[in-house]
Structure 1
Amino acid sequence: MTNQDIRQLAAWLKETHLAGAELRRPGMHLVLKRGDDAAVAVVAAPEPVKAVDERLLKTPGLGRLLLTHPDQQDVLVAVGSPVEQGQLVALLQVGELLLPVRSQLAGRLAAVLTPCGSTVGYGEAFMRLATA
């Protein structure tokens, strides 16, 4: 995100009389707040570096996470079963569109972290794999 983008967001906040906005992306956390009569305060700080857990499967976008196909009852991957890299593990429903969510890693499904039908954002961990 550039300084110009931040300025544009601040202008939109002022025009719409909103008190503030908060944006989170991997590696970035931006908070914009307006005072009553004060100038717009811009605070941008990088998120603290966390230990990366490479065994988490994360969502590729926004939508409703489905662990089963709407026309079937069986889950795409059961806890305890092996998972291959590139294997279909979930579906992301955006309106009427169903997008495939494939595993970026190989391993054994240790846990499902997000219930089927939950609304998810970009980069949310929804499954944890154990080494095969």
Structure 2
Amino acid sequence: MQCSSALPRTATTPSVVALYSATHVEAGPHVVKSPGVGWVRLSHPLMEGSLARLGEAVGANDIVALIQVGPLMLPVHASSDGTITVLLVNEGDTVDFDAPLLHLQSSPPA
């Protein structure tokens, strides 16, 4: 039996182009969605100030809100660098999984 170190290319093997397309974020508006069911918290109860405000610039993976599920706080991360253009929820609103929370206008790549 002969063993080859190279894996055969199949239809399910992703190409470099497919991987780039899946991770590349285009400039334009993005909807940031809820990671779970719970209550929206736009600020942490133990900290002063908002996590993110309308018109504020945020970085990719910055925490822009929290979803409270009982005592647990689930972070909501920005999907890319950009500016918060629309808040679709208010403090204390109840949301479902994958509910839209805010719009983020991403910056074009440099």
Q: TM-score, structure 2 length as denominator?
A: 0.66
CA RMSD of aligned residues (A): 1.6
Matching residue of 2:60:
85
- Structure 2: any 5+ residue segments left out of the alignment? 1-27
State whether structure 2 residue 51 is matched by structure 1 residue 76: yes
Greater length-normalized contact order (CA 8 Å, ≥ 6 residues apart): 2
Matching residue of 2:86:
111
Identity %, equivalent residues: 32
Superposition pairs for residues 10-25 of structure 1, below 5 Å? none
Matching residue of 1:126:
101
For the residue of structure 1 that corresponds to 2:103, the secondary structure is strand
State whether structure 2 residue 73 is matched by structure 1 residue 98: yes
Q: Distance in 1 between matches of 2:79 and 2:105?
A: 13
Structure 1 segments (4+ residues) deviating >2 Å: none
How far does residue 73 in structure 1 lie from its aligned partner after superposition? 3.8
**How many residues in Structure 1 have an aligned counterpart in Structure 2?**
80
How far does residue 130 in structure 1 lie from its aligned partner after superposition? 1.8
Task: For 1:95, give the aligned amino acid.
Answer: G
Q: Distance in 2 between matches of 1:115 and 1:73?
A: 17
Superposition pairs for residues 28-39 of structure 1, below 5 Å? none
- Structure 1: any 5+ residue segments left out of the alignment? 1-52
